[in-house]
């Protein structure tokens, strides 16, 4: 039955449909005939979003409204706000400026905000990651340093010297806004910053939101991962799920999915997901293939601090989804195979010297570093796991009928 269905449906397409069905089934709902409702508008779908009390800062020696910042002082926890300058800051009549890009930081609650700035910049970066993370390399306690050289923060295009509004998602208690020196300009300045906290109500039905790489978003002519399998209606969302938002992107690393961006007019990234999370929503985390070397382990603090924690702060339910198989050639052992090391296959563990029977489900990625890191995150936070490689052959055959 499996081979017949795979040939008729296309082996990779059948596989992604089964993966999507497994994600849906995880919620405890049987897959029905309900039409799915995909939401990629970035508005958060149903569920009210209310605004809190605005907090504002004005800058310069003549500043008078909100919190008037008349000195270019470095950030401190005591004041709850301040600057980070690469060179130095200058206080002018109605702004603070510098000859290089600089940051303004404010201590805030961990939630989403609507931010309005007046600046001479045309680009503002929010929530720039620290320059580096220290992380544990192995079980001996050896540590390494992961330099976030590719971390640009989340880019927002703004209109110079006019009020510009955008949304940010804060996960570490500090709102971080970097005012980027425009090309050809000698200085960049900020006149005012204001922000309003946003409170999200639970939706009538929880949404399913995906964060990941091509394992969750790949919709090419020859490949299709589980996210597009839902979007393209190869499987249907059950009636208990209100919609699906895919914030994943093929080729993404831990840092690039953090930075986010726009592909084919669709926003992706961790921040985009967090701006759409309402209490009770399920958020799958499925990434790691495109990190290489030690950065595979270094992705753990990025996802723990800014993804898992971020989802939980917003009342969402983070779920780890492990790496998907490569395709038809990776589906089964074609012959009886004696393994040379402990191997997981078909929902069982085989020790070195034991034989895995022909036809047993197989995924060569299952025990590698990618999945180990995802499973480490799941263990650290006691998260639910969707682990398709652990399904036995009978479960996968049943999945084809879903």
| Class at the top of the CATH hierarchy for domain 2-46+202-400 | alpha beta
What residues does each domain of the chain span? 2-46+202-400, 49-199
Res 394: pLDDT: 45
Average pLDDT, the chain: 77
pTM: 0.78
Does residue 205 have a pLDDT over 80?
yes
Which is more confidently placed, 179 or 297? 179
398 and 391 Cβ atoms separated by less than 8 Å: no
37 and 100 Cβ atoms separated by less than 8 Å: no
Residue range 8-29: average pLDDT? 46
Res 97: pLDDT: 98
**For the segment 210-242, what is each residue's pLDDT rounded down to a tens digit?**
888 777 776 665 566 677 777 777 777 778 889
| CA trace torsion 382, 24, 222, 296 (10° rounding) | -10
Does residue 140 have a pLDDT over 60?
no
CA distance 88 to 224: 50
Give one word for 66, left, alpha or beta, with left for phi > 0 and alpha for psi -120 to 50: left
Among 293, 287, 248, smallest CA distance to 147 is for: 293
**For the segment 341-385, what is each residue's pLDDT rounded down to a tens digit?**
887 676 678 899 999 888 776 655 555 566 777 787 888 888 888
**CA 240 to each of CA 37, 49, 232, 236, 300: distance values in angstroms, whole numbers, following the listed order:** 12, 21, 19, 11, 32
Res 273: pLDDT: 93
**For the segment 154-174, what is each residue's pLDDT rounded down to a tens digit?**
899 999 999 999 999 999 999
387 and 322 Cβ atoms separated by less than 8 Å: yes
Which is more confidently placed, 393 or 6? 393
Q: Which two tokens stand for residue 232?
A: 């393209």
| Class at the top of the CATH hierarchy for domain 49-199 | mainly beta
Mapped onto helix, strand or coil, the DSSP state of residue 179 is strand
pLDDT > 90: what percent of the chain?
A: 40
Strands 207-212 and 243-246 come out as parallel
Find where tokens 């510009």 sit.
164
**For the segment 258-283, what is each residue's pLDDT rounded down to a tens digit?**
787 777 677 888 899 999 999 999 99
């Amino acid at each position: 039955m499996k081979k017949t269905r795979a040939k008729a449906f296309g082996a990779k397409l059948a596989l992604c449909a089964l993966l999507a069905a497994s994600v849906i089934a995880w919620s405890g709902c049987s897959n029905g005939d309900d039409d799915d409702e995909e939401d990629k508008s970035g508005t958060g779908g149903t569920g009210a979003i209310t605004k809190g009390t605005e907090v504002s800062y004005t800058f310069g020696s003549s500043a008078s409204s909100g919190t008037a910042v008349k000195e270019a002082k470095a950030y401190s926890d005591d004041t709850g706000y301040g600057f980070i300058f690469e060179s130095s800051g200058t206080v002018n009549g109605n702004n603070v400026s510098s000859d290089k890009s600089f940051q303004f930081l404010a201590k805030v609650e961990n939630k989403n905000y609507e931010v309005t700035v007046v600046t001479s910049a045309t680009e503002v970066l929010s929530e720039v990651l620290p320059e580096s993370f220290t992380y544990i390399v192995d079980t001996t306690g050896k540590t390494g340093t992961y330099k976030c050289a590719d971390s640009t923060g989340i880019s927002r295009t703004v209109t110079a010297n006019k009020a510009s509004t955008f949304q940010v998602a804060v996960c570490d208690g500090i709102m971080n806004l970097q005012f980027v020196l425009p090309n050809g300009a000698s200085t960049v300045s900020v006149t005012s910053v204001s922000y309003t906290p946003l409170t999200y109500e639970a939706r009538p039905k929880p949404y399913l939101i995906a964060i990941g790489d091509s394992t969750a978003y790949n919709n090419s002519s020859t490949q299709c991962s589980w996210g597009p399998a839902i979007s393209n209606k190869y499987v249907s969302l059950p009636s208990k799920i209100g919609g699906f938002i895919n914030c994943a992107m093929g080729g993404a690393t831990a840092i690039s999915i953090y930075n986010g961006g726009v592909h084919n007019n669709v926003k992706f990234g961790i921040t985009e997901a967090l701006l759409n999370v309402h209490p009770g929503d399920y958020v799958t985390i499925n990434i790691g293939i495109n990190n290489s070397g030690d950065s595979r382990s270094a992705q753990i603090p990025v996802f723990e601090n800014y993804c898992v924690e971020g989802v939980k702060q917003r009342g969402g339910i983070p779920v780890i989804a492990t790496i998907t198989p490569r395709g038809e050639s990776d589906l089964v052992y074609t012959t009886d195979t004696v393994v040379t090391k402990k191997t997981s296959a078909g929902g069982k563990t085989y020790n070195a010297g034991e034989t895995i029977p022909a036809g047993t489900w197989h995924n060569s990625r299952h025990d590698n570093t990618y999945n180990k890191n995802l499973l480490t995150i799941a263990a650290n936070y006691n998260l639910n796991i969707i682990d398709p490689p652990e399904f036995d052959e009978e479960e996968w055959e049943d999945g084809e009928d879903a």
